[in-house]
């Protein structure tokens, strides 16, 4: 999606891993192709190396979000081992985020989660009027990218991180990439292709995504998938309610 903060995230990740000891480190400078305004014109890219397993490298791409770059996004996706979906968490961009997700699904051709792990960054959480994690989960569930607890892939539902990309205020930037790299290694091992995918068991050291407090928690977890909710704040709604009692906005 345009303006979701992809380039800023890479810039911050580069600074974090360059200035302090981490499990990955940059082995080259961040390369950007952008307009004078700072908008990505083509793509950004950077190469990281594991500090513990020196033979493991991670090439990270951030592709321009404009609709005209869809063929480029499709081309770069070929050979992708893991995906980080950067979501602009501002409520008024929800529909734009859904469009980006649908494009990603189309490009991936049913490989997301089953063969390619997915991490989600709910970015710009330093701003007001942002969606919460439950809204995003409902969108993912509708698109068959979030599974109920009894499903064999439920342990590999996308890890969701609430993030702020601004360096100095950065929130969960490194943690998101660490979890993405960890899942890619768990899924693909030595990255040899082709491979037969078998959903791996969650390791003991799995990193938990930062959680937002759910405004109302149903007694039965299964109820979560059926209750009507406000797409502005995520609060569950009484049946037939047209105005959200939590945020006061019209239900959409």
Pairing assessment for the beta strands 24-26 and 31-34 based on DSSP bridges: unpaired
In terms of domains, do 135 and 181 share one? yes
- Output the pLDDT for position 251: 66
Q: Is residue 1 part of a domain?
A: no
In terms of domains, do 236 and 148 share one? no
pTM above 0.75, yes or no: no
Q: Is residue 23 part of a domain?
A: yes
Q: What are the C-alpha distances in Å from 53 to residues 4, 20, 108, 212?
A: 32, 18, 29, 34
In terms of domains, do 144 and 43 share one? yes
In terms of domains, do 112 and 131 share one? yes
In terms of domains, do 206 and 239 share one? no
Q: Is residue 190 part of a domain?
A: yes
In terms of domains, do 14 and 130 share one? yes
- Output the pLDDT for position 195: 31
Sheet holding 118-123: strands in order across?
A: 83-88, 118-123, 159-162
- Output the pLDDT for position 1: 60
In terms of domains, do 228 and 123 share one? no
Per DSSP, helices labelled H in the chain are 6-19, 70-77, 94-108, 133-142, 173-188
Q: Is residue 195 part of a domain?
A: yes
In terms of domains, do 40 and 95 share one? yes
In terms of domains, do 77 and 184 share one? yes
Domain extent, residue 235, equals: 215-252
DSSP 68: G
> Hey, what's the torsion of the CAs at 151, 187, 144, 137, to 10 degrees?
90
Between helix 94-108 and helix 70-77 the angle, nearest 10°, is 50
Q: For residues 168 and 12, give the distance between their C-alpha atoms in angstroms, rounded to a whole number.
A: 9
pLDDT by 10s per residue, the chain, length 252: 677 888 899 999 999 999 988 999 999 898 876 555 455 555 788 889 988 888 888 888 887 767 776 777 888 788 789 999 999 999 999 999 999 999 999 999 999 999 999 999 999 999 999 999 999 999 999 999 999 999 999 999 999 999 999 999 999 999 999 999 989 988 887 543 333 333 334 334 433 333 322 233 333 333 433 456 555 545 556 777 777 766 677 765
Question: 65: which residues sit within 8 A by CB, 6+ positions away?
Answer: 1, 2, 3, 4, 6, 40, 100
Residue 119: CATH number of its domain: 3.40.50.300
In terms of domains, do 120 and 239 share one? no
Q: For residues 167 and 153, give the distance between their C-alpha atoms in angstroms, rounded to a whole number.
A: 34
Q: Phi/psi of residue 88, each to 5°?
A: -75, 110
In terms of domains, do 196 and 106 share one? yes
Number of domains, the chain:
2
In terms of domains, do 21 and 47 share one? yes
- Output the pLDDT for position 250: 74
């Amino acid at each position: 999606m345009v303006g979701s903060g992809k380039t800023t995230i890479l810039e911050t990740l580069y600074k974090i891993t360059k200035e302090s000891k981490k499990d990955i480190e940059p082995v080259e400078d961040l390369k950007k192709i952008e307009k004078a305004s700072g908008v990505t014109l083509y793509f950004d890219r950077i190469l990281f190396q594991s500090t513990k397993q020196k033979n493991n490298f991670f090439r990270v791409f951030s592709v321009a979000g404009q609709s005209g770059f869809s063929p480029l996004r499709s081309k770069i996706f070929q050979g992708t081992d893991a995906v980080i979906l950067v979501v602009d968490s501002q409520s008024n961009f929800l529909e734009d985020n859904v469009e980006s997700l649908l494009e990603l699904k189309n490009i991936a051709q049913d490989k997301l989660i089953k063969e390619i792990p997915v991490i989600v960054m709910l970015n710009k959480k330093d701003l007001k009027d942002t969606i919460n994690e439950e809204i995003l989960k409902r969108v993912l569930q509708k698109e068959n990218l979030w599974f109920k607890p009894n499903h064999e892939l439920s342990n590999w539902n996308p890890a969701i991180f609430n993030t702020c990309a601004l360096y100095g205020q950065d929130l969960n930037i490194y943690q998101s990439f660490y979890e993405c790299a960890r899942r890619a290694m768990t899924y693909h091992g030595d990255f040899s292709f082709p491979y037969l995918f078998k959903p791996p068991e969650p390791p003991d050291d799995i990193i938990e995504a930062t959680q937002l407090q759910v405004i109302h928690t149903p007694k039965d977890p299964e109820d979560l998938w059926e209750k009507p909710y406000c797409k502005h704040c995520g609060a569950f709604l009484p049946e037939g309610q047209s105005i959200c009692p939590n945020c006061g906005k019209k239900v959409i």
